[in-house]
A and B are shown apart, each in its own frame.
Chain A
Amino acid sequence: MNTSVAHTEHYDPEGSKIGMWLFLFTEMFLFGGLFLVYAVFRNKYSADFHHGALELNAFIGAINTVVLLTSSMTVAMSITAVQKKNKRLAINLLIITILLALVFMVNKYFEWSHKFEYKLYPGSPVVMNLPQGEILFYGLYYMMTGLHALHVLIGMVLLTVNIFKVKSGKVNHERHSLIENSGLYWHLVDLIWIFLFPLLYLVT
């Protein structure tokens, strides 16, 4: 080396996007472990999984799928709005996204509490008397949808932070990695649900 160039301030949207994608890989592997367990037990107890899936309410599941897909669209629109300098619209779209997420969680709440009424929760006497495959099915159902719901909550917090950052102008048409990466995260939450829904509700 015989020459050198001057330092510049470090802002690297490309770098943060790579970082976010790597993080999303880890999330996929995290759920991947559960999908693997699902595959093993589905293969071993396919009849029990069939009975378990019949118990789930495919209608609520379908509504939730539509809700999440729509929210993925609104968050993508909000990113475009930021890029086109339309701050007001971006914030409104973010609020709609969070509201849709809330609808998803409320649905989930009713779905779970309905199951709890029938004492269909892990470790309950009713579940413990079911065939082994169904015990595992409910275990997977609660663990997978529970972990997914946790991600929905984290996503909601992330989107809320974005509302304030857009409002204060820290996220703007020139610096928008934060909202783009939050959008990526939100799409992942959506994507995982798209696999959970058929595997748990539809495949009977």
Chain B
Amino acid sequence: MNTNATSQENYLKYRGRFKGLIGWLTSTDHKRIGLMYMYAIMVFFIIAAILGLLMRIEKIAPGQTIMDAQTYNGVFTIHGIIMIFIIVIPGLAAVFGNFFLPIMIGAKDVAFPKLNLFSWYIYITGAVMGVLSQFIGGGAPDTGWTFYVPYSAESSTNVIFALLAAFILGFSSILTGLNFIVTIHRMRAPGMTWFKMPLFPWSLYATAWIQVLATPIIGITLLMVIAERTLNIGFFDPALGGDPLLFQHLFWIYSHPAVYVMILPAMGVVTEIFPTFSQKPVFGYGAIAISSLAIALVGYFVWGHHMFTSGISYWSRWFFSFLTFIVAIPSAIKVFNWISTMYGGSIDLKPPLLYAISFIFLFMIGGFTGLTLGALATNVQTHDTTFVVAHFHYIIFGGMGFAFFAAIHYWFPKIYGRMYNNRLAYLAWGILFVGFNVLYFPLFVIGIQGMPRRYFDYLPQFQTGHVISTVGAFILFTGLIIMFYNLIYHRRRGEIAPSNPWNGVTLEWLIPSPPPVENFDQTPVITTKPYTFEPAEKAKA
């Protein structure tokens, strides 16, 4: 069934009660909210990326180059807070989850559209507060995004503001997760059983549970730090009988599962891309779906691996290290399935697939170095070095970031009904991929050699690595500029895209581009498994 003929206007042109900007800001259409998240995230991403570039410029030579040590502390803190809480955690779920989850399960909207819009406003409030904390009050917070006590309880900078911002952003994350769980439970199209649901919704489902069940812990923890600073309640202050380690436990009980909030939707996105560009059903559908849940579940119990050198007991270290190795298994299952999906398929190397393949490559490097960090002995050597920095940038930027780029290149024609320039997209991908590796790989090397993270200055022997890394940062930035130009320019001026440019088979490709306001003229009824490519099936028969 191809419902190309539709009686409705598309969501970009549709005029509700208000027009123009107000029309967007008051819209409860999940597609518009998704785009509003995307534009906000892009703005904050540019801010945080520039902060990152400034840090790299500072590190081009030992000693002070362009900023003093205190400014550097503020810059890496705000870079972390923006990137983690404002961009990566909401990231894929809020943008593409909002836009495509209802369409992919054949629904008109999410379960609670007003709540969805409300989450966006909470998000914007928190995000703006996070950025403002850099400028008002006692100076930019300098605790790092982890807010470790006792320093975060003592620092004279504007920590409370940043803590509140993270608290508020958590609220938005919880409400989005809640909305998605109910949507997936209640609003799947008739006939779409759990195991006929596409895999991006599956990954969002696992993510949403983590958001709902882990985020409150960070909320209360941040409140306790605020109480510590304002009311002198000493939960984490040894002078008053408190315990700083307790903070680390509470912080990572949330913040490690949060890593899976970042990476699970990314895995979901590439799981959509591989079958489409191989024109072949996804390999091991059930294994991928269940491994998402397994990651979400086991991911809860590995937080202690952030604290191996903090002085926790031998047995708890043993336990956390063991579970860290266990959580690698479902991730490896997914990698195996993605590669097997491509095997024997008719591969069409379009920009989205290139990004997805580089996702696997970068995610594997990030994943294996994660095991280096998860093993007790090597952790002691590499703890708090730039090795850690390189590891999580490979996972977060190389994983989630590249999956985001893959997603935007994959769904761009659907979202805007226009096509970007393919040649520019290839060029941008090449530059980004090279720049990324030149930027972050040297950090592994100097990390093992002993370069600590978060240091403003360094010994001369590390300079070669730092210079290569800074050069990489400029290459990466060039790639980003080309990619942004390509996407932003062709959003309105690109060639008109057909409704199904990639020959995809999930529901979003069966409706016009851009999608109509209510997504479907009639609610679709699902009778087959997802990823059933008809020509291939016929050839087999």
Residues on A lying within 8 angstroms of B by beta carbon are 1-7, 10, 12, 14-16, 18-19, 22-23, 25-34, 36-37, 40-41, 44-45, 122-123, 128, 131-133, 135-136, 139-140, 142-143, 147
Contacts and interface: CB of A to CB of B under 8 A. Distances in A.
Given A19-B178, A123-B232, A26 B186 contact: no
A37 B111 contact: no
B523 A123 contact: no
Interface stretch (B443-451, B485-493, B524-532): B524-532
A135 B240 CA distance: 7
20 contacts: A3-B527, A4-B520, A4-B522, A5-B523, A7-B520, A15-B187, A18-B185, A22-B182, A27-B216, A29-B214, A29-B220, A30-B216, A32-B217, A37-B224, A37-B246, A41-B235, A122-B232, A133-B241, A136-B235, A139-B240
B227 interface: yes
B523 A139 contact: no
Contact of A1 (B178, B212, B242, B528): B528
Contact of A33 (B1, B217, B518): B217
Contacts of A131: 241
Please classify how large the interface on chain B is, using the bins under 10, 10 to 19, 20 to 34, 35 or more.
35 or more
A-B residue pairs, 9 tightest by C-beta: A132-B241, A123-B232, A33-B220, A139-B233, A29-B216, A4-B522, A30-B216, A15-B186, A26-B216
Interface string B383-414: 00000000000000000000000000000000
A161 B190 CA distance: 36
A7 B182 contact: no
Given A19-B112, A45-B241, A122-B232, A7 B178 contact: no
B524 A15 contact: no
A2 B213 contact: no
A10 B111 CA distance: 9
B524 A4 contact: yes
Interface in B157-204: 174, 178-179, 181-182, 185-187, 190-191
B231 interface: yes
Nearest to B3: A4
Interface in B212-255: 212-217, 219-221, 223-224, 227, 231-235, 240-243, 246, 250
B221 A7 contact: no
B213 A136 contact: no
Contact of A34 (B214, B220, B527): B220
Given A18-B186, A36-B250, A136 B526 contact: no
B221 A19 contact: no
Contacts of B305: none
B108 interface: yes
A135 B186 CA distance: 48
A80 to B, nearest CB: 25
Given A10-B108, A18-B186, A37-B246, A136 B234 contact: yes
A32 B219 CA distance: 11
Contacts of A10: 108-109
A15 B215 CA distance: 22
Nearest to B191: A1
A126 B488 CA distance: 62
Interface of B: 1, 108-109, 111-112, 115, 174, 178-179, 181-182, 185-187, 190-191, 212-217, 219-221, 223-224, 227, 231-235, 240-243, 246, 250, 518, 520, 522-528
Nearest to A45: B241
Nearest to B211: A26
Nearest to A48: B241
Contacts of B527: 1-3
A42 B457 CA distance: 44
B523 A33 contact: no
Contacts of B213: 25-26, 29
A26 B235 contact: no
A29 B189 CA distance: 32
B163 to A, nearest CB: 15
Chain B CB within 10 Å — which of A2, A28, A29 has the most?
A29
B216 A132 contact: no
Contact of A143 (B190, B191, B224, B518): B224
Given A14-B186, A23-B174, 11 more contacts: A1-B524, A3-B525, A7-B108, A18-B181, A22-B178, A23-B178, A33-B216, A33-B224, A131-B241, A132-B241, A139-B231
A4 B528 CA distance: 14
A135 B241 contact: yes
A28 B223 CA distance: 15
A12 B232 contact: no
Contact of A5 (B174, B240, B522): B522
Given A6-B522, A7-B522, A26-B213, A37 B235 contact: yes
Contacts of B227: 122, 139, 143
Contacts of B191: 1
Contacts of B525: 1-5
Contact of B523 (A4, A31, A135, A142): A4
Nearest to A23: B178
B523 A7 contact: yes
A22 B186 contact: no
Given A132-B240, A142-B233, A33 B181 contact: no
A122 B217 contact: no
B179 A19 contact: yes
Contacts of B223: 143, 147
A175 to B, nearest CB: 15
